[in-house]
Amino acid sequence: MDVPVELSRIVITETSPEQVIFLREKNGGRSFPILIGIGEALAIDRRLKGAQMPRPMTHDLLGHVIEAMGGRIERIVVNDLHDATFIATIYIRRGGEVIPIDSRPSDAIALGIAQDTPLFVADHVLEKVLSEEMNAAHQRERLELRRTELAEQIAELTEQLQDEEFASSLGQEEQQALQEQMREMQADLEAIDEILRQLPKE
């Protein structure tokens, strides 16, 4: 059985090679993180926001190729988990044929997010990732490291904004942009805290 999920958050920390996306069950409270690369995280974020680039990027190009060949992405399923590595399948419909394509979840989501492609996680994967069968210690370590990085960045940004000399050198728009950035970072921090509360403890 495949469980409908949604991309609930992207946490991008440019000082780290690994980023985090969070998938959340649509009709329930279960959620979990997936570590992905910075390139895929930025692609997901860009396509989610509908940002246009001067020339097609990799996921844009692949989407155009699928469309030009008469296909459309019907659904994406995160359908397996091996050694803490998630495996996904992109299902492309072309005419009366459905073609399954093996993929990393990050690439599949980056490809499908622009078209609101339905996203699913196999029930056994969802159960496994939230149970002690998954290396919870490994996930917790990575998330706690990301949490520490975000907390340090928030503290540094707060200190800068409280510095009168620094603050006075900024225009109103720059101050507002920094404050918005800090709010987003705080929201990411809270999302990580929520996931950490759900991870099993050894």
Final residue of a domain: which of 129, 161, 187? 129
Q: Give 10-residue mean pLDDT values along the chain (202 residues).
A: 89 74 86 85 86 82 91 95 87 94 93 90 87 61 80 85 79 80 81 71 48
Q: Are residues 163 and 118 part of one domain?
A: no
Q: Are residues 93 and 170 part of one domain?
A: no
Strand order of the β-sheet with 72-82 is 31-37, 18-25, 2-11, 119-122, 72-82, 85-94, 97-103
Q: Are residues 114 and 37 part of one domain?
A: yes
Q: Are residues 48 and 114 part of one domain?
A: yes
Q: What's the pLDDT at 202?
A: 43
The beta strands (E) that lie in the chain are given as 2-11, 18-25, 31-37, 72-82, 85-94, 97-103, 119-122
Q: What's the pLDDT at 90?
A: 96
Q: Are residues 77 and 27 part of one domain?
A: yes
Q: Are residues 40 and 87 part of one domain?
A: yes
Number of independent structural domains in the chain: 2
Final residue of a domain: which of 129, 145, 177? 129
Q: Are residues 159 and 141 part of one domain?
A: yes
Closest CA to 62 of 20, 112, 7: 112
Q: Are residues 82 and 167 part of one domain?
A: no
Final residue of a domain: which of 129, 144, 168? 129
- Residue 166 lies in domain: 136-198
Helix (H) or strand (E) holding 66: helix 58-68
Q: Are residues 21 and 82 part of one domain?
A: yes
Buried b (16+ CB within 10 A) or exposed e, 133-160: ebebeebbebbeebbebbeebbeebeee
CATH of the domain at 61: 3.10.690.10
Q: Are residues 164 and 108 part of one domain?
A: no
Q: Are residues 111 and 66 part of one domain?
A: yes
The three-state secondary structure class of 162 is helix
Closest CA to 86 of 67, 108, 115: 108
Closest CA to 74 of 57, 94, 60: 94
Q: Are residues 38 and 103 part of one domain?
A: yes
Cα–Cα distance between 20 and 18 in angstroms, integer?
A: 7
